[in-house]
Amino acid sequence: MAHAFRAETGQMSLINANDDALAAINHRPVTFLHRLAERAMLDDDHLARLIETAAAAGPEHYNLSLVEEDENGSPRWVQGLLSENGQVDGHRVLDMIRSGRLWLQIEHLADLAPHLHALIVEAYDELTARVKGFSYRNLYCNLLISGPEARVTPHIDAAEVILWHIRGRKRMWLYDPAKFPVPERTVESIILREQLEDISFPDEWNEKGLALDAEPGMALSFPYLWTHSVENLGELNVSLQTEYHHPRSIRRYGALFASGLARRRLGMDPEAADPGSLAESLRAMVGLAAKALHLNRETERQIPAAFVIDETAEGYVRRFAPDAAPVLSK
């Protein structure tokens, strides 16, 4: 049943969904209704202030990206800067995002927007109270503000994801790994942070996945390591994007981390360990210990900033010459 008021905490419920529907979270794609927008109040003035805060905090606190075509006409995801000196007019940035394909992710909400972070924690605590077996660790939250033509190329995230959609409309394509498998080596490389989460994606998979359209007030969740892509449907989009680990996904993450290191450092060719198996648990212990010791550090990715937004440049994008591009540690 849906709860408008939660007796156990005395707070208004943030999630308007049937407990049975929520029980499928972590197992298959799930959509449900939420009330975060009423409390987050992410109108233009609020967004503009948060953009100014993120720009001042510097590029370790945000990702600004767009999809462009490479020399072969394939989509390529490039990252840029909001500003070179940390100063921006938030409303002007919002207008530039509204004009097209820019995609801005404001990170570290616990520091930059603690009111939004607290709201998300409240929603996760409600899920934990209502959904048997649900738990969350390493909660990471960000605010996504993206233009009407923005899109995100097919990729895999290294954590479980719930997208709490607030404004605009977007379509998410989800690819079940049982039908659209990604090589283990590619997933390891993402877990080891050698590459951005983009994967090479066969053309024939395009639009063959499950399409879910997000409307304001809707939340989307899908299982760990599912390939997904996103396209905005002609409006400014605002969402709170959240990532977390469930005990099952921590095990899988640790096992992939260990296999990846064994393959790269020790020249081994480990077989895939089945999810839920003892082999996976043992391998996960090794992988999580290696992760804690930062044994992957020397291969971690360095991303050059390709552009800075600029009102006077074509499409509001001013490119850096390759030898002058600032390097982002992400």
Residues that bind Fe ion (CB under 5 A): 157
Nearer Cβ to Fe ion (144/317)? 144
Least distance from Fe ion to the Cβ atom of residue 7, Å: 35
**Cα dihedral 38/40/46/48 (nearest 10):** -120
Residue least distant from Fe ion (Cβ): 157
Nearer Cβ to Fe ion (55/143)? 143
Axis-axis angle for helices 278-292, 247-265 (nearest 10): 70
Least distance from Fe ion to the Cβ atom of residue 232, Å: 14
Nearest to 286 by CA among 273, 301, 300: 273
Nearer Cβ to Fe ion (157/235)? 157
∠ CA 317-323-327, nearest 5°, is 70
Least distance from Fe ion to the Cβ atom of residue 62, Å: 16
Nearer Cβ to Fe ion (87/195)? 195
Nearer Cβ to Fe ion (55/303)? 303
For residues 278 and 254, the answer to whether their CB atoms sit within 8 Å is: no
Least distance from Fe ion to the Cβ atom of residue 214, Å: 13
For residues 13 and 121, the answer to whether their CB atoms sit within 8 Å is: no
Q: How far is the CA of 107 from the CAs of 7, 61, 62, 101, 188, in angstroms?
A: 33, 5, 5, 19, 24
Nearer Cβ to Fe ion (130/165)? 165
Beta bridge partners of residue 319, listed in sequence order: 307
Least distance from Fe ion to the Cβ atom of residue 230, Å: 7
For residues 231 and 39, the answer to whether their CB atoms sit within 8 Å is: no
Least distance from Fe ion to the Cβ atom of residue 118, Å: 23
Separation between Cα atoms, residue 125 and residue 257, nearest integer Å: 29
